[in-house]
A and B are shown apart, each in its own frame.
Chain A
Amino acid sequence: MSRKIRLTVNGAARALEIPTYRTLLDCLRNDLGLTGSKEGCGVGVCGACTVLLDGKMISSCIALAVSADGHEVTTVEGIAGDERLHPVQQAFIDAGGFQCGICTPGQVVSAKALLDAIPNPTDGEIREWMLGNICRCTGYYKIIESIRTAAQRSRA
């Protein structure tokens, strides 16, 4: 029971045939080799698998790849420019927004989506937007600081 789908992944058109039960996360990781997105909880709670579907952040571990047919997917591999990291990525490095790194792709993609939606978020807006991205190392302060830093630099 496989099905042919077309996705635009990080700007590139991809056509593939996949089993209907393939999650979008497994499709990205196993069929397309994009292993930046991680599986943490597998039930949409932890945020490690966060990707953008038509620009909106979703949990790819509970999305079926067949349901994304015809749509645009952006993963952590697709947000940097050719020469430079995305401002959010650079800010996570500069402000120390990660330690072990397992949650970082999801944090970065969610933070990018936040700044796309709200370019100058308050700390309250950052906390609320990011509450679905769990981190067991940083205690979150450095993540909030990273996002604040990225927003400031984007303004400058």
Chain B
Amino acid sequence: MNAFEYAAPRTLDEALAVLREHGDEARVIAGGTALVTMMRQRLVRPSYLVSLREIPGLDRIEAANGGVRIGALVTHREVETSPLVRERIPVLAETFHRVASVRIRHMATVGGALAHADPNQDPPVTLIALGARVEIRGAGGRRELPVELFFRDYYESSLEPGEVVIAVVVPQFPAASGAAYVKFLPRTADDYATVAVAATVSLEADGERCRAARIALGSVGVTPIRAQSAEALMAGQRFGAEMLKAARESVKSAVDPLTDHRGSAAYKREMAAVIAGRALTQAWDAARASARGTR
């Protein structure tokens, strides 16, 4: 690893001031699982690290308008085991549960993972399907962005120099709705996905027709991808083989996978459709069960 200065400020304002002063030379560190690994591999060589670990208040999971607000320093393990998250948005706890190993989940933080902008990660996929928003602080103040707009390119987020992620806000999960996260993982259980799909389905008052659906995919492009054309096809439809087939075909044209050691682009495109079909089926089943329960 290269030599660098290290600062561990105790307030966010202090951290933002240090970032402003050092510009491109500085990187933010939280859990360090991504950054230290990249530094060890000499992929990045920052001359200044600003740790957020000593800043109080960024490590909380709070109830917010029926949903949850998760601070940037909350670890993956804390989301996975949070009673509040498990009660309000179980698919989110399940998604964090699927990341790497328990050991890495103890270290990796929610904000750090978002800022890392690796398109193979699990949480962004589900956060997009849930309509979550990222809270960002910079010298100019606070701004919010839907998670789907946060990712710009391969390992590139919408964070401007000097900005940090401070929280992710997940809205209330609607009534008569279901969600699923399906991670296709043919190698080891702690691997990144070959293809991952999160889906949410909300039903009309009749408990049969789709009011709205959201489909997000990971590991099939340079960023996580939302399949809006497939979502639009489902609106107003009843569940059935025809609808599912149309949605699956639409997903294929929404993705743009890279060939790597987990599979060729063509293979991942086919599997994206298969896994999307499974995720939609599970989400729809859960939505029906939810609709029956609420009527």
> Total contacts A to B, CB within 8 angstroms?
83
* Contact of A32 with B by CB under 8 A: no
Query: By the criterion CB–CB under 8 Å, are B106 and A56 in contact?
Result: yes
Query: By the criterion CB–CB under 8 Å, are B40 and A42 in contact?
Result: yes
Chain A, 27-69, contact with B by CB distance < 8 Å: what is the 0/1 string?
Answer: 0000000000000001111010010010011110111101101
Give the interface segment out of A18-26, A73-81, A95-103. Answer: A18-26
| Nearest CB in chain B: distance from A117 CB, A | 9
Query: By the criterion CB–CB under 8 Å, are B190 and A132 in contact?
Result: yes
Query: By the criterion CB–CB under 8 Å, are A66 and B6 in contact?
Result: yes
* Contact of B222 with A by CB under 8 A: no
Q: Which residues of B26-67 are within 8 A (CB) of A?
A: 29, 32-33, 36-37, 39-41, 49, 51, 53
Closest to A68 in B: B53
Query: By the criterion CB–CB under 8 Å, are A21 and B2 in contact?
Result: yes
Query: By the criterion CB–CB under 8 Å, are A132 and B3 in contact?
Result: no
Q: Which residues of B4-22 are within 8 A (CB) of A?
A: 4-6, 8
A57 to B3, CA, bound (A): 27
Query: By the criterion CB–CB under 8 Å, are A131 and B101 in contact?
Result: yes
* Contact of A110 with B by CB under 8 A: yes
Query: By the criterion CB–CB under 8 Å, are A67 and B102 in contact?
Result: no
Chain B, 179-202, contact with A by CB distance < 8 Å: what is the 0/1 string?
Answer: 000000000111000000000000
* Contact of A14 with B by CB under 8 A: no
* Contact of A83 with B by CB under 8 A: no
* Contact of B274 with A by CB under 8 A: no
Query: By the criterion CB–CB under 8 Å, are A1 and B190 in contact?
Result: no
Q: Which residues of B contact A56 (CB under 8 A)?
A: 77, 106
A-B contact list, 23 entries, CB within 8 Å: A1-B3, A19-B3, A20-B3, A20-B6, A21-B1, A23-B1, A42-B40, A43-B40, A50-B103, A58-B106, A59-B33, A62-B32, A62-B36, A62-B37, A62-B40, A63-B36, A63-B107, A64-B32, A66-B6, A67-B51, A131-B188, A132-B100, A132-B190
List 3 tightest A-B contacts by C-beta distance, closest first.
A132-B101, A21-B1, A20-B6
Q: A56-B106, A59-B107, A132-B102 are in contact. List 6 more A-B contacts (CB 8 A).
A: A20-B3, A23-B36, A23-B40, A63-B107, A66-B51, A132-B103
